[in-house]
Amino acid sequence: KQEVTQIPAALSVPEGENLVLNCSFTDSAIYNLQWFRQDPGKGLTSLLLIQSSQREQTSGRLNASLDKSSGRSTLYIAASQPGDSATYLCAVKRFGTYKYIFGTGTRLKVLA
């Protein structure tokens, strides 16, 4: 059974810091991995999607990497801003299924 873990559960950093959020999964037979952002009281917004054959994806100040052999993905946020404050979730989709399994998220607070 696929399990997805995100550590830490919460993180506070001063504005301007570069930071890394972690996502671990137990089954390496994944189809893709997605990172999402969720603001309080809102739905999830897709940030980056990494296909199984890819090692990383970049969008602006965000970079996501994927290492299937170790069952890990990281989301790197460069030069963090207060507007980056949100909960970040990762989700994996296993080969042969239509299901996405989510981690419980990392709640990020960037202090001005």
Partner 1 sequence: NAGVTQTPKFQVLKTGQSMTLQCAQDMNHNSMYWYRQDPGMGLRLIYYSASEGTTDKGEVPNGYNVSRLNKREFSLRLESAAPSQTSVYFCASSAADSSNSPLHFGNGTRLTVT
Nearer to partner 1 among residue 80 and residue 86 (C-beta): 86
Among 40, 43, 60, 96, binds partner 1 (CB under 8 A): 43
* 81 binds partner 1, rule: CB under 8 A: no
CB of 4 to partner 1, least distance (A): 8
CB of 112 to partner 1, least distance (A): 27
- The 10 Å Cβ neighbour count of residue 107 is 17
CA atoms within a 13 Å half-sphere pointing along the CA-CB vector of 17: 15
Alpha-carbon span 49 to 33, nearest angstrom: 6
Among 52, 62, 74, 107, binds partner 1 (CB under 8 A): 52
Residues near partner 1 (CB under 8 A) are 31-32, 34, 36, 42-46, 49, 51-52, 89, 91, 93, 98-105
